[in-house]
């Protein structure tokens, strides 16, 4: 089963050809990040326009790189939720057009399910059930992946997503957008014990996260230092912030693994690229004898290969759509 997959939920226009959910025949990503950087974040209107301009060329390149014609594709998988609605709709409408023109099935894929499936590409032996920490720019969830298309959320962020917290703290520290990767690099050269930052807990919900207090603490620390004319050591602050985020994420993840009896742990989403998170979880899993799966760096961020991977399992489960498929800005992973 060869799927052509389309992803346009945020600021990457991406297309890929994936065979049987695990073999990537091609993967093309056109990133708009340089253009959004000057505004300090993604401008939805610009994102939609660029997707419209790029989607045909990106898709054609994915087919060319796979050395396949559209007629040789068995189905069209597309991200239909969640995301910036104008951006999502470009991909959804394009995929609907391809499905109509070719008569091939249309397979709607939830973006976060796609992030999890990036791990199926990288780890051929990985199969559900497992416990997954999904940490992206827009979402932070602790999820029981009971089957390829069966999910149960056991924890979530109450305010900012992990990637959002990284980006906001990074911006306050003067890094360009999206700042997560720059903050990560600075953190590797800093002392994580240099600044004391809060580790907020959500009362009565042991597996939920909260990052806004931590982000605010960083912003206040920077403002106070500026007012007093004190110097802040950016690498040290980055390391202290990253240490706090990793502490919050890993403590909930490991507690949930113990409580629910999982020894197979998976990380997914853009923040799975974070060196501190990977290092901490690798160490903790080694100590406990757990298996840890993380995507290789090129599969951590948004791409269409992961949509093609999940699309295969959605198709196997009979989850196809008609031409009335609509994009959805906000949709839980477990519905
Ligand atoms: O999954 P993703 O590519 O897009 C969404 O679906 O949201 O995640 C993007 C997020 C951004 O917030 C970005 O700053 C963050 O992932 N990110 C990182 C790192 N690389 C990307 N955050 C921390 N450390 C990194 N190395
Ligand atoms: Zn994403």
- Going from N- to C-terminal start, the domains of the chain cover 2-116+299-316, 128-295
128-295 classified as CATH 3.30.420.40 = yes
Euclidean distance between CA atoms 285 and 40, whole angstroms: 36
Beta-bridged to residue 109, according to DSSP, are 79
The ligand 1 atom nearest the CA atom of 276: 24
Is residue 214 lining ligand 1, measured as CB closer than 6 Å?
A: no
SS3 62: helix
Q: Cα–Cα distances in Å, from 236 out to 32, 135, 184, 248? A: 30, 23, 11, 18
The ligand 1 atom nearest the CA atom of 161: 12
Neighbours of 62 (CB within 10 A): 26
pLDDT digits (tens, 9 = 90+) for 137-185: 999 999 999 999 999 999 999 999 999 999 999 999 999 999 999 999 9
- The residue whose CA is least distant from atom 8 of ligand 1 is 270
pLDDT digits (tens, 9 = 90+) for 58-113: 999 999 999 999 999 999 999 999 999 999 999 999 999 999 999 999 999 999 99
When pLDDT is averaged across residues 225-236 and rounded to a whole number, the result is 97
Distance 85 CA to ligand 1 centre (A): 19
Cβ-contact 209, 156 below 8 angstroms? yes
Beta-bridged to residue 107, according to DSSP, are 77
**pTM recorded for the entire structure:** 0.97
Tell me if 2-116+299-316 shares its fold with 128-295: yes
The ligand 1 atom nearest the CA atom of 115: 1
Q: CA angle, 189 as apex, 185 and 193 as ends, to 5°?
A: 115
Which residues, at least 6 apart from 103, have a Cβ–Cβ distance to it below 8 Å? none
User: Among positive and negative, which fits the CA dihedral 298, 304, 305, 310?
Assistant: positive
What pLDDT shows up at residue 164? 96
- Which residue of 91, 119, 190, 301 sits with most ligand 1 atoms within 8 Å of its CB, as the best mutation to test the pocket? 301
pLDDT digits (tens, 9 = 90+) for 289-304: 999 999 999 999 999 9
Domain 2-116+299-316 belongs to what architecture?
2-Layer Sandwich (3.30)
Reply yes or no on whether the pLDDT at 335 is more than 90.
no
pLDDT band for 41, please (50, 70, 90 cuts). very high
């Amino acid at each position: 089963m060869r799927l052509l997959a389309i992803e346009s939920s945020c600021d990457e226009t991406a297309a890929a050809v994936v065979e049987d959910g695990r073999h990537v025949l091609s993967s093309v990503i056109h990133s708009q990040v340089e253009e959004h950087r000057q505004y300090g974040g993604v401008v939805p209107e610009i994102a939609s326009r660029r997707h419209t301009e790029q989607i045909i060329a990106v898709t054609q390149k994915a087919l060319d790189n796979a050395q396949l014609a559209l007629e040789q594709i068995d189905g069209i998988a597309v991200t239909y939720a969640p995301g910036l609605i104008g951006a999502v709709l470009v991909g959804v409408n394009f995929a609907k057009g391809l499905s109509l023109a070719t008569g091939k099935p249309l397979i709607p894929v939830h973006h976060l399910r796609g992030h999890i499936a990036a791990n199926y590409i990288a780890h051929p032996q990985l199969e559900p059930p497992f416990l997954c920490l999904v940490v992206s720019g827009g979402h932070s969830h602790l999820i029981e992946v009971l089957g390829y298309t069966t999910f149960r959320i056991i924890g979530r962020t109450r305010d900012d997503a992990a990637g959002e917290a990284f980006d906001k703290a990074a911006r306050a520290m003067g890094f360009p957008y999206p700042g997560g990767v720059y903050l990560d690099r600075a953190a590797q050269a800093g002392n994580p014990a240099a600044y004391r930052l809060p580790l907020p807990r959500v009362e009565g919900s042991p597996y939920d996260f909260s990052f806004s207090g931590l982000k605010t603490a960083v912003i206040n620390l920077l403002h106070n230092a500026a007012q007093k004319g004190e110097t802040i050591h950016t690498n040290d602050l980055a390391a202290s912030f990253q240490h706090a985020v990793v502490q919050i994420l890993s403590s909930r993840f490991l507690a949930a693994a113990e409580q629910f009896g999982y020894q197979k742990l998976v990380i997914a989403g853009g923040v799975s690229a974070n060196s501190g998170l990977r290092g901490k979880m690798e160490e903790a899993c080694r100590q406990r004898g757990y298996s840890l799966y993380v995507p290789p760096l090129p599969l951590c961020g948004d791409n269409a290969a992961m949509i093609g991977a999940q699309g295969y399992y959605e198709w196997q489960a009979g989850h196809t759509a008609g031409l009335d498929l609509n994009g959805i800005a906000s949709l839980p992973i477990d519905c």
